[in-house]
Chain A
Amino acid sequence: MEIQPTFAQTITLGIPNPSSITFNDADPDLTPSLAANSTVTLSIRVRNNGGNNWRLTHLAAGDLSSSIPISNISWTVTPQPPFVNGLMSKSVAQIAAQGVGNVNPAQTGTFTFRIVNLWSYNTGNFSVVTTFTLSAP
């Protein structure tokens, strides 16, 4: 009898750098699509995953405000794959990266976030927490 112990996956999700981004005020006519003040890097590592799937998702806790839907924020990311572009959501975790097997050594994605800049946004300072979740399988 051959005994092959099964090891649990080891996954590592780095801390986003920076851990917060800001969209600064701008004229919607001159800047209809507003980039965040910084790109965000995020590293992922998956080991002992065999041939299983893994994925990185992104979910917002809510809208930025009653007049600024979170779905107005999108991201582009490199490298692709394993990372994928997406649109923020407060209701459904959006895929930010996915693959099969291991990611070893770690890979780092560079995210560029943009928001649709509209006249309909009411004034104020708004903030929302979003969560990246790396899971396997």
Chain B
Amino acid sequence: MKKLILVLAILGMLSTSIPVFAAQQAQNLTVNMGVLARAKLTLGVSAINFPDADPDTIPSIAATENAVSVTAKVRTGLSSTATLTHRASGNLSAGPGITIPIGNVTWTATGAGYVAGTMSSSADVRAGSWTGSGSYSGNFSYLIVNSWSYVIGNYTVSSTYTLTAP
């Protein structure tokens, strides 16, 4: 009888002391992402205008549209440099042989990565650069040297900004 009681006691201890086993199971899920190079440039206006002015009182004419907003959005490599360049198609022209040198037009810049420059039709002029991806906002303000030597007329020229993300 004592043996039976002892056995039952041991069983009882076992039944009450067996812990509730913690159960755990894991499975993996792999997440992939591909990011390609891309660039997007947004200018606040598509044309700027320099109004007529007296060269003596206003030797440097500001564009009516100043300041022009600009946003360069780029995706590029971690250490890669995205660049923004500006190039005119020629001089300001009011007709055959009636021109104003494009080098008379300059711009100032605000915003991280943007730089001031002088327009050119013979070479790309750097207007901004950034290392790595991001969205970069700034402003350009355009000026033209005002000179008595300009022949009267309405001058125009096109220019192109190029944003490159390697």
A binds B: yes
- By a beta-carbon cutoff of 8 Å, the part of chain A in contact with chain B is 1, 3-6, 8-16, 19-25, 27-29, 36, 40, 42, 50, 52, 60, 64, 66-68, 73, 113, 115, 119-137
Say yes or no: A13 contacts B25, CB within 8 Å.
yes
Q: What is the distance, in angstroms, from B78's C-beta to the closest C-beta of chain A?
A: 4
Contact B20 A16 (CB under 8 A): no
Are B73 and A132 in contact, with the CB atoms below 8 A? no
Whether the pair B31, A6 counts as a contact (CB closer than 8 A) is no
Q: How large is the interface on B (under 10, 10 to 19, 20 to 34, 35 or more residues)?
A: 35 or more
- Chain A residues with CB under 8 Å of B15's CB are 3-6
Residue of B nearest to A136 (CB): B23
Of the candidate stretches B110-118, B128-136, B143-151, the one touching chain A is: B128-136
Q: How far is the CA of A11 from the CA of B23 in the complex (A)?
A: 7
Pairwise interchain contact B18-A6, C-beta atoms closer than 8 A = yes
* Total CB contacts across the A-B interface at under 8 A: 153
* B-side contacts of A27, CB under 8 Å: 38, 40
Least Cβ–Cβ distance between A129 and chain B, in angstroms: 5
What's the minimum C-beta distance from A23 to chain B, rounded to whole angstroms?
Answer: 4
Instruction: Report whether B28 and A131 are in contact in the complex, using a CB–CB cutoff of 8 Å.
Output: yes
Can you spell out 28 A-B residue pairs with CB atoms less than 8 angstroms apart?
A: A1-B12, A6-B15, A9-B21, A10-B23, A11-B23, A11-B25, A16-B28, A16-B29, A22-B31, A25-B34, A36-B31, A50-B20, A64-B33, A68-B35, A73-B31, A113-B31, A121-B35, A121-B133, A122-B78, A123-B37, A126-B32, A127-B31, A127-B32, A127-B33, A134-B25, A135-B22, A136-B22, A137-B22
> B77 — nearest CB in chain A belongs to which residue?
A123
Beta-carbon contact of B20 and A13 below 8 Å: no
The smallest C-beta distance from A8 to any residue of chain B, in angstroms, reads: 4
Q: Smallest Cβ distance from A78 to chain B, in angstroms?
A: 17
Contact between A133 and B133, CB atoms less than 8 A apart: no
A60–B31 Cα distance when bound, in Å, is 9
Q: Is the CB of A25 within 8 A of B78?
A: no
Is B100's CB within 8 Å of the partner chain A? no
Given contacts A4-B15, A11-B23, A123-B37, contact A23 B32 (CB under 8 A): yes
